[in-house]
Chains A and B, each alone.
Chain A
Amino acid sequence: MAETAIHHPPGVDPLEPRMLVPPHHDDASLNETLLDHVWAKPGKGWFLLFGIALVGLGMFLVAVTVTLARGIGVWGNNQPNGWAFDIVNFVWWVGIGHAGTLISAILLLFQQKWRTSINRFAEAMTIFAVICAGMFPILHTGRPWFAFWLLPYPSTLGAWPQFRSPLDWDVFAISTYFTVSLLFWYIGLIPDLAALRDSSKSKLQRIIYGLFSLGWRGSGRHWHNYKIGYLLLAGLSTPLVLSVHTIVSFDFATGLIPGWHATIFPPYFVAGAVFSGFAMVITLIVPARKYLKLRDVITDRHLENMNKVILATGLIVSYGYMMEHFIAWYSGNEYEIWTFYVNRARGPYAGVYWLMIACNVITPNIFWFKKCRTSIPIMWVASIVVNIGMWCERFIIIVTSLTQDFLPSSWDLYSPTWVDWCLYIGTLGLFGTLFLLFLKFVPAVAISEVKELQLELKHAAHHAAHGADTGAAGTLTHGAH
């Protein structure tokens, strides 16, 4: 193809896939680029981060040990704040997990080709985030070794769980979500694990990757079933991701506490989850693509698209806040009015409330500007701010509603103890540890999907009369294939 860059002709379908992978790569070189970071020895940066993550993991183990040895009395929870940091962190982590499924499933169904470069990464994030989330309710039971009581099993006590309780719905929702995410992630990994097996240099690597790749050899009969299975799993995950956070929001919405008893909760929680999840993807992917040299497949255009999703979901979250406040006022219910207009905005936790507004309502609006959407430092800081804001939102919903409900005689303030903080920071360490191990041992980008996309794009370029467009990011060139 000629070296001339021809501009996007007017009237071309804007949903058509654009060049997302530089065309100078062929299958072998893509392989090399994308597998490189698995074979390369980890650098100093990796060890430094891993050390920090291990410190966090150590804090987690200390906090868990103290909690188990002395009981959950070491937490700051009290009456009336039966739920506090544990459920705040639980909801926050589950929400972060959702972007992964959204990217892998919903964008696949909508045939958004740009997802292929980031889905592996995002799904790994989902799985680790759900593991972190699961720690909190299990520890909150106080006796995690009896956690199986939550499941229906033929107990000698002759008792069954209460299936009309939203807390039991949670057990099913989270465990199903974790299992399906893991299956989806693993089935997507199999072809890449086989590629790792077949390009490994030592016998040990070949055996280990061989075990995990189950004997995959890219047979036409394998792909035939695999393609439809992958698509179906995506189709299942799409309603699943919406249902999980809806069910998490039911934990609150079915309660009568002012500040929780709102029908807007399910969609508003789902939007918040996507909002924080995409922010977490940006937080992680910006440094990772730099150090793993993945700029060729995770382009500026990918980041810009994610920022657009953050803007859209941020606006939905803002709408959720507006509706909560409007309904509180419109209902004329004095307890609701107290919660929203006195306790949250001017009460003891007003600082957290206004931080939440600043982070979640104001920050995403910077992404109206292309300059902010495409600036790496701005989006990275903004993504961290959004994550802080979403954590504040969970805190506000849970703590302000519980500390001051109907009767002033039962009011009490909440403050987290050092164990609470160690558990929270500790799960960040747990997440970091798992994530760094993932980056070391597994390809961070779905290689087979990128190769397939590459081929499709070449075909598209071939069939287009004058070549494809130059790509919005401006980093892509034609020729040389």
Chain B
Amino acid sequence: MSAETKVLETLVLAEFATPEALVDATRQMREKGYEGMDTYSPYPLHGGSEALGLPPSRVPFIALCAGLTGTATAISFMAYMNGFDYPLNVGGRPIFSLPAYVPITFELTVLLAAFGIFFGVLGLARLPQPYHPAYEHEAFRSATTHGYWLSVPQFATLQADAIMDQLKSLGATQVTVVTGEKE
């Protein structure tokens, strides 16, 4: 494959010694006007979302919609199947019997809401993602075990040094530039 057909994404990666230093640096970088940054840590950072300036997650909304879909599906399919399409008369009990529909309605609500949450989390995080430019840097592998990293997208080549200096002055223990293929 030829390099011309790919759009290259260049990131400045910086490692910080502690989660607090990472959150602090992220906030200061954002105040300086850098956008599209991302933090990487083995566990959720305290105040990390705020430092990145992320809007509230849409997962709860997705879950609510999926759950309500489950409720509506359950009641309508049971009413149609047992009440209309294939009515079973058991001891003269009512054909459309809401109390008897409660358990399955509840279960289906929970099931679809859970699917909504699961695929909502993965979808909003854009997973599965087999490749990410940050992995061009071998030391970045510590991000899931014990490292605290910040990535700053670099839009113009001229900026690289400026960004690296900024990050160093904020206490980064190591700074590097990685270039990878953009999906």
Residues on A close to B: CB < 8 A? Answer: 26-28, 31, 152, 158-164, 166, 168-169, 172-173, 176, 179-180, 183-184, 186-187, 191, 194-195, 197-199, 210, 214-229, 232-233, 236, 239-240, 243, 247, 250, 447-449, 451-452, 455-456, 459
Interface residues of B in 1-53 (CB under 8 A from A): 19, 26, 38-46, 48-49, 51-52
Contact B48 A198 (CB under 8 A): no
Main secondary structure on chain B at its contact with chain A? helix
Q: How far is the CA of A247 from the CA of B77 in the complex (A)?
A: 20
B182 at the A interface (CB under 8 A): no
Which of A26, A163, A173, A226 gathers the greatest number of chain B CB atoms within 10 Å?
A: A163
Contact B128 A215 (CB under 8 A): yes
Shortest beta-carbon distance, A457 to chain B, in Å? 13
Chain B positions within 8 Å of A179 at CB level: 111, 114
Chain A positions within 8 Å of B54 at CB level: 220-221, 224
Q: How far is the CA of A349 from the CA of B88 in the complex (A)?
A: 38
Shortest beta-carbon distance, A227 to chain B, in Å? 5
Chain B positions within 8 Å of A451 at CB level: 42-43
Q: How far is the CA of A217 from the CA of B149 in the complex (A)?
A: 10
Contact A173 B107 (CB under 8 A): yes
Q: Which of A159, A225, A250, A447 contacts B124 (CB 8 A)?
A: A225
B90 at the A interface (CB under 8 A): yes
B78 at the A interface (CB under 8 A): yes
B72 at the A interface (CB under 8 A): no
Chain A positions within 8 Å of B176 at CB level: none
Q: How far is the CA of A316 from the CA of B49 in the complex (A)?
A: 43
Given contacts A160-B86, A179-B114, A220-B54, contact A452 B44 (CB under 8 A): yes
Q: How far is the CA of A447 from the CA of B43 in the complex (A)?
A: 9
Across the A-B interface, give the 10 residue pairs with the lowest CB-CB distance, nearest first: A215-B129, A214-B128, A27-B146, A229-B121, A220-B39, A160-B81, A452-B43, A198-B141, A223-B44, A164-B100
Q: How far is the CA of A374 from the CA of B114 in the complex (A)?
A: 37
Q: Which of B38, B78, B97, B131 contacts A220 (CB 8 A)?
A: B38
Shortest beta-carbon distance, B41 to chain A, in Å? 5
Contact A160 B49 (CB under 8 A): no
Q: How far is the CA of A236 from the CA of B104 in the complex (A)?
A: 15
Cβ contacts B141-167/A at 8 Å (1 or 0 each): 111111000000000000000000000
Contact B38 A219 (CB under 8 A): yes
Other A-B pairs, 11, CB within 8 Å; known A31-B42, A239-B110:
A31-B145, A160-B82, A164-B100, A166-B103, A180-B114, A191-B43, A220-B38, A226-B44, A228-B57, A232-B59, A232-B60
Q: Which of A180, A199, A223, A239 contacts B45 (CB 8 A)?
A: A223
Chain A positions within 8 Å of B60 at CB level: 228, 232
22 A-B pairs, CB-CB below 8 angstroms? A31-B146, A152-B81, A163-B101, A164-B82, A169-B104, A173-B107, A176-B107, A180-B114, A183-B118, A194-B144, A195-B42, A214-B122, A216-B125, A217-B40, A224-B49, A224-B54, A228-B57, A229-B117, A232-B60, A236-B110, A239-B106, A240-B107
Q: Which of B104, B118, B128 contacts A187 (CB 8 A)?
A: B118
Contact A455 B19 (CB under 8 A): yes
Shortest beta-carbon distance, B181 to chain A, in Å? 14
Given contacts A27-B146, A164-B93, A198-B143, contact A221 B38 (CB under 8 A): yes
Chain B positions within 8 Å of A31 at CB level: 42, 145-146
Select from chain B the residue with minimum beta-carbon distance to A246.
B103
Contact A198 B103 (CB under 8 A): no
Q: Which of A161, A176, A215, A447 contacts B132 (CB 8 A)?
A: A215
Shortest beta-carbon distance, A310 to chain B, in Å? 27
B177 at the A interface (CB under 8 A): no
Q: Which of B41, B125, B131, B146 contacts A225 (CB 8 A)?
A: B125
